[in-house]
Structure 1
Amino acid sequence: MTRAPADSTAEPYDFRAQRLFVDDALTEGAQVSLDRDRAHYVSDVIRLAVGGHLHLFNGRDGEWRAVREAGGRREVLLRCEALLRRQTPPPDLDYVFAPLKHARLDYMVQKAVEMGAGRLVPVMTRRTQATRVNTERMRANVIEAAEQCGILTPPDVLEPVTLPRWLADLPPERVLVFCDEAAPQADPLAPLRAAIAGPLAVLIGPEGGFADEERRLLATRPGAVVLSLGPRILRADTAAVAALALVEAARQAAP
């Protein structure tokens, strides 16, 4: 038997349904006409017939069951029928990272979305390997991951900024969780439990780690939580999954 998520309405939730992110406002009876790329996806990739259903969300109005209505050969027109899940606030969690190249960056972005990041912030460090960041490609990966894993609000993707500039602009109430391969090995959940109640910024460094002056700069941040991710040196994309999993574990264990 299919069970609805905790924040759903009384409408049964179909976990097997295709989900599609749209920019249109979603209300009962609202009609959504898809652009060419999404019309191609619905018609030719998932082959949704007229009368078939899928789920729509836009990050503002919750998730809706929609039916495909009759239209032209190249037109896909959808109509919202029922609210399935009410909108909830996105996680107050910034995932901050030194950009990687190509496929590994795609993987990192997708996993950060799946692990509950509310905002993605690329920062340029002394040892950052990627000199150019394609934020439009990152946003496309964010949308795809959100569609696949049931997230209602796709995380925002910010434009790249230098590490010192980002740190200078970080609000004082946001706790910095700084993952450092040079940190002493200790229980990583203990310090996280103490910081988990408020807004967080989880920072993962570049391949090769942070430069000494960057470590000193980060260490001056009041209340910063320095974590070791274990005895092995992790690739940056692996470290992202490990760090965000620890944050989720700490939140689940919080009273």
Structure 2
Amino acid sequence: MRLKNKVALITGSASGIGKEIAIIYAREGAKVAIADLNLEAAEATAREIDPSGEVAIGIAMDVTEEAQVDAGTAKVIETFGALDILVSNAGIQIVAPLVDYEFKKWKKMLAIHLDGAFLTTRAALRQMYKQGSGSIIYMGSVHSKEASKLKAPYVAAKHGLIGLSKVVAKEGAEHGVRANVICPGFVKTPLVEKQIPEQAKELGISEQEVIDTIMLKETVDGEFTTVADVAEAAVFFASFGSNALTGQSLIVSHGWSME
């Protein structure tokens, strides 16, 4: 097992990509903390992974609230005795033309994606530095590299995660901590499914045209990325055997974006 006896905190993991990562991590031998705004859903996911509660726990966490992040991280450490992996995955999407974008929505998007990444990173690093090891994984996007209409704060935030990861890689190196970013293409989660009718309305096209001409147009095979694809990348980063792999971003997008 690639993650035997490792302890992982995964934000936004009661559903979607985060849940799949938690499931795969547990299968690979890790103990996992399911952190989510919805405590009931987080606990349900934890029970689904491990009814005994020995391998998986659910934690209520609003990643934009400093006290909740610090308390939730402390609970993981108290429960499992360590923190080896942070997957900063929590995120939302609000689409609108930049000229019409409400400032409060802009701030909400940046708070969840960037403030949340900062707060969870800081809390995790305090433990990882004590241990002398750790892996921090940010859930970026192809929008960490590219841009799309209607997604100004999302694109800005996802680009920002690349920069944050590079700083963490440099500062964390002397403490045995590495940091990397996963950049998925469109994954058919509730977050993406919600965007399809929203973008169709804003752009005046059909939902199928949104899928064919916006979401999947630049892929090599017209396929959505899957949660399993992204989870496998998360295992790769978490289980890499040395600190040679740090400060990097890995695109998982069916070729939508290539470097």
TM-score if structure 2 supplies the norm length? 0.36
Q: Which has the larger radius of gyration?
A: 1
